Amino acid sequence: MTARVTKLSPTWCPGCGNFAILGAIKAALDQLGLEPHQAAFVYDVGCSGNMADFVFAYGFHALHGRGLPPAAGIKLANHNLKVFVIIGDGGGYGEGVSHLLSLARGNHDVTVLVHDNFLYSLTTGQKSPTTPKGQVTPSTPAGVIDEPFNPLATALTNSAAFVARGFAGDIPHLTKLLVAGVKHRGFSLIDILQPCPTYNKSRPYAWYREHIEYLDKIAHDPADLEAALKLSLRTDRLPIGIFYRVPRTPWHENFTLLKTGILADSAIDKIDLTSVLDEFK
Amino acid sequence: MAKFNWQIAGAAGEGIKVSGLMMQKTALRAGWYTYGSTEYPSLIRGGHNTFSVVAGDQPVNSGQVKIDILVDLKTSQIILDQPLKLPLAELANQSGNFLTKNTVALGASCALIGLDLAIFKQVIAEAFAGKDQSITVQNHQAAQLGFDYAAKNFADKKLKLIAPGRALKNQIMICGNEALALGAVAGGMKFYCAYPMTPVTPILHYLAANAKKLNIIVNHAEDEIGVANMAIGAGFGGVRSMVATSGGGFSLMVEALGLAGITETPLVIILGMRPGPASGMPTWSGQGDLLFAINAAQDEFPRIVLAPGDPTEAFTLAKAAQNLAEKYQLPVIILADKNLGEGYYTADQPPAGHTNQRYCLAKTGASPEPFKRYQVTASGISPRPLPGRPGGIFLANSYEHDELGYATEDSRERVKQMDKRLKKLTTILASDDLIAPRIFGPAKAKTTLVSWGSNKGAILDALPSLPNTNLIHFAWLWPFPLAQFKALIAHQPRLITVEGNATGQLSKLIAQQTGTMIKDKILKYDGRQFYPEEIIEGLKKI
């Protein structure tokens, strides 16, 4: 069996959704048949990002909110790598949302797992962009004033080529989404409903089970953007599954230079500037 | 020394810079050493734009306050010791194209300076090579009309200059931005990432336009934070990368600078200075970011800060920066400014062929264990595996970490890794890579001007008028070349710093590092670069 984890023990709270997401990642890597050196994980800062010490693969534990740009850089350097981003709703939808839009629009071939627990948990439970309006948190004692951010609708309207939602309470289903996301050539966003038993008492596993709805059980066509958008706007139920999937050229495939090999291997031992020097004479 | 300063002035959108560059190229090919500089406000139409060409039969490295010949498009005049009316519109219309009035003015300028019209016509042909042949024909006609008009009507006004009478061999016309771009490519840069910002936008334009020829990838990313973090990702992946910005963008990159520091990821940042703070004076020049560059980002980590003084140094240092960043696994900041970046110099053509080696890349086997990426070593530099290779698995970590990269809050591990990283500074200072400050002029002089970066040009041009004066020029500022600087100043009785900032940041740095307090300073912070005349005047006032 291929080693998937390090010798370090996870530091998450008992019952944290991150255990399940890590389980789904391990299962997906197995199903994809990826060796540890064939994958690179970029971790944002947050409870989710603390996974950095536990996954046995090349890793880059980035700055808060800045998990996506290094992932695009790593994919550019070596497009043979499967590149993952482990990020939360705070980093992905708040501090770093501009990068989300940029990578989605550019169709950078990375798989983004947003551990969406609807709170900032590593900083002890303040509101996040996805916290429901009115919820009381330490930074919003009178209730959240802002309307929540809609990640799926945002991704869909910004040309994300693969948009899905999973649930940490259903590992086999989430594993399928991960495998599909990695196999999709281009940007994939997987928003993962993640219970936080420590700080988000209003949304335990049972609450999610009552509110989720499996897309593969209703007749949804993932090629239908308008239907996907309509589903993403639903608030009474939380559909999970693949909302949208469309083939589109990944960012790095726009460069002929990368057709012959990976950028990190391109020779620099001999550089010839002859072709550009004449114009300065 | 034969020398003249020609300037063209008009509104933004009137092609001032294009005309200036054509004039400068004509002078260069006629054998003159040249320095061209442009002044323009931050707008697209209107305002007052200028382009000046200083030309000499000996090397010139800077602008000049005194203008010998001014083409004013607004009033259709050529101004020498007195204004001369030039019927620009009328002559342009005669050429068959009203838009050629700049060319008419340049043709007239050639007559007044004594530049060979055939050379100017060749420059015209090259400038319009991609366009319809009729454009070249009309501009040739316009140049001839302007030349003939001035020759006939202003014959007695012709500048009394002895032309160099020889062609310059192996000399090119290049701006600092282009030299930085080419130097980086020569040093193996394969990824350039940027967000547009004056004064370094021309680097983005140049590299984007030539990316295919140069076999590099260029990306205009969403913001400077994305720029720096994407470049760090590419650097982690094994690709030599560079970004460029000005002070505002650099401020946004500061957190990523620390990220490159703690993850020990190679990254080259060009910081093209302009007056600040905040939006400041976008299209002007300054040197206010020296201490910022040396100290930016929280806590302490090693970095290298360079400051080229001209395009030749810009090329050499941009190439060196690529190698230094990889060799020492740290961020390298190149301090440029509008004066260097957008100034067009006569420089030796850089060599076409360049060789590079890769540094400190780990040879990995098939070990199933994590790789000790941050292994404590005597030099502070640890072998670095590249993602994708079997046996090299490690974690690069923005958190303090142990030798494997895993996060730690252990006090001993923290000290070990801090010491390991900072050890690199000692390693660099003891290496051949260090570029010591250099003396220009006599080895020992009564007065020594101490300066850095692009002031080099104006000071070099002032030195011939300053008896018993020399220059110590810093092109490498951090880690501070303490021993080398102390040796240089040991026999210089009087030091005066020359800087483009308000408080004398190099003076402060020298005081901090050497204990030497330099009292006398020539400072300028009005958004303009130094002119040689100002160095001479400034010295008189001290």
Spatial distance between the Cα atoms of A270 and B187, rounded to a whole number of angstroms: 10
Contact B427, B381 (CB under 8 A): yes
Summarised one tens digit per residue, pLDDT across range A219-231 is 999 999 999 999 9
Spatial distance between the Cα atoms of A237 and B245, rounded to a whole number of angstroms: 46
Q: Is residue A113 part of a domain?
A: yes
Which segments in chain B show pLDDT lower than 70? Answer: none
Summarised one tens digit per residue, pLDDT across range A228-269 is 999 999 999 999 999 999 999 999 999 999 999 999 999 999
DSSP single-letter state for residue B264: T
* Torsion sign across C-alpha atoms B189, B195, B198, B204: positive
Q: Is residue A1 part of a domain?
A: no
Spatial distance between the Cα atoms of B82 and B94, rounded to a whole number of angstroms: 26
* Residue written as token pair 């040991």: B490
At residue B98, the pLDDT reads: 93
* Cα first-last separation, chain A: 63
At residue A141, the pLDDT reads: 97
Contact B484, B436 (CB under 8 A): yes
Nearest to B114 by CA among B255, B7, B6: B6
The mean pLDDT of chain A is 97
Which helix (H) or strand (E) element contains residue A210?
A: helix A205-211
* Residue B348 identity (one-letter amino acid): D
Spatial distance between the Cα atoms of B252 and B245, rounded to a whole number of angstroms: 10
Spatial distance between the Cα atoms of A87 and A93, rounded to a whole number of angstroms: 9
Q: Kindly give, in sequence order, each residue whose CB lies less than 8 Å from that of residue B526, ignoring residues fewer than 6 positions away.
A: none
Q: Is residue A271 part of a domain?
A: yes
At residue B94, the pLDDT reads: 97
Q: Is residue A217 part of a domain?
A: yes
* Residue written as token pair 């700080």: A199
At residue B250, the pLDDT reads: 98
Chain B contact for A205 (CB, 8 A cutoff):
no
Half-sphere exposure of B376 (CA within 13 A, CB side): 11
* Residue A120 identity (one-letter amino acid): Y
Across the interface, whether the CB atoms of B217 and A274 are under 8 A apart is answered: no
Helices (H), B187-304: 201-214, 224-236, 247-263, 290-295
Q: Is residue A5 part of a domain?
A: no
At residue B182, the pLDDT reads: 98
Identify each DSSP E strand in chain A by its residue range: 39-43, 58-61, 82-88, 110-116, 119-120, 126-127, 162-167, 188-193, 212-214, 238-245, 270-272
Contact B118, B163 (CB under 8 A): no
Nearest to B152 by CA among B163, B144, B162: B144
Q: Is residue A67 part of a domain?
A: yes
Best of A60, A85, A277 to substitute, by most chain B Cβ atoms within 10 angstroms, is: A60
Spatial distance between the Cα atoms of A93 and A48, rounded to a whole number of angstroms: 14
Chain A contact for B185 (CB, 8 A cutoff):
yes
Nearest to A60 by CA among A27, A24, A89, A86: A86
Q: Give CA B138 to chain center in angstroms.
A: 36
Which helix (H) or strand (E) element contains residue B305?
A: strand B304-306
Measured in degrees and rounded to the nearest 5, phi and psi for residue B395 equal: -115, 125
Domain housing A134: 17-280
Best of A74, A266, A274, A277 to substitute, by most chain B Cβ atoms within 10 angstroms, is: A74
CA nearest to B351 within chain A: A273
Chain B contact for A2 (CB, 8 A cutoff):
no
CATH of the domain at A42: 3.40.50.970
Nearest-neighbour CA in chain A from B35: distance (Å): 14
Spatial distance between the Cα atoms of B535 and B458, rounded to a whole number of angstroms: 8
Rg (CA), chain B: 25
With a CB-CB cutoff of 8 Å, which residues 95-114 of chain B face chain A? none
Mean per-residue pLDDT, A202-213: 96
Nearest to A13 by CA among A103, A150, A146, A125: A125
Instruction: Report residue A69 as tokens.
Output: 């740009």
CA nearest to A258 within chain B: B217
Q: How far is CA A141 from CA A125, A127, A138, B48, in A?
A: 12, 10, 6, 56
* Residue A14 identity (one-letter amino acid): P
Which helix (H) or strand (E) element contains residue A179?
A: helix A171-183
The minimal CB distance from B233 to the residues A50, A73, A102 is found for: A73
* Residue written as token pair 């015209």: B124
Summarised one tens digit per residue, pLDDT across range B159-206 is 999 999 889 999 999 999 999 999 999 999 999 999 999 999 999 999
Rg (CA), chain A: 20
Instruction: Report residue B42 as tokens.
Output: 């931050």
Summarised one tens digit per residue, pLDDT across range A155-190 is 999 999 999 999 999 999 999 999 999 999 999 999
Catalogue all structural domains in chain B, each as residue range(s) with its CATH number: 3-169 (3.40.920.10), 173-348 (3.40.50.970), 360-433 (no CATH), 438-541 (3.40.50.920)
Which helix (H) or strand (E) element contains residue B194?
A: strand B191-194
At residue B42, the pLDDT reads: 85
Chain A contact for B223 (CB, 8 A cutoff):
yes
**In sequence order, what DSSP letters do the residues of B55-85 get, joined into one string?**
EESS---S--SS-SEEEETTTTEEESSSEEE
Across the interface, whether the CB atoms of A59 and B236 are under 8 A apart is answered: no
Chain B contact for A46 (CB, 8 A cutoff):
no
- ipTM for this prediction: 0.98
Nearest to B391 by CA among A152, A78, A36: A36
Residues of B in contact with A63 (CB under 8 A): 229, 255-256, 259, 398
Contact B491, B470 (CB under 8 A): no
Angle of CA points B495, B316, B182, to nearest 5°: 135
At residue B364, the pLDDT reads: 87
Q: How far is CA B449 from CA A275, B319, B408, B470, in A?
A: 40, 28, 48, 6
At residue B519, the pLDDT reads: 96
The minimal CB distance from B397 to the residues A52, A266, A277 is found for: A52
Nearest to A27 by CA among A170, A239, A126: A170
Spatial distance between the Cα atoms of B335 and B382, rounded to a whole number of angstroms: 27
Q: How far is CA A132 from CA A203, B106, B204, in A?
A: 11, 67, 43
Neighbour count for residue B350 (Cβ, 10 Å): 21
Based on the structure, what is the number of domains in chain A? 1
Q: Is residue A3 part of a domain?
A: no
Chain A contact for B353 (CB, 8 A cutoff):
yes
Residues of B in contact with A112 (CB under 8 A): none
Instruction: Report residue A132 as tokens.
Output: 């429901």
Residues of B in contact with A276 (CB under 8 A): 182, 210, 213-214
Spatial distance between the Cα atoms of A276 and A273, rounded to a whole number of angstroms: 6
Q: Is residue A12 part of a domain?
A: no
Nearest to A191 by CA among A224, A159, A156, A226: A156
Instruction: Report residue B226 as tokens.
Output: 């994305």
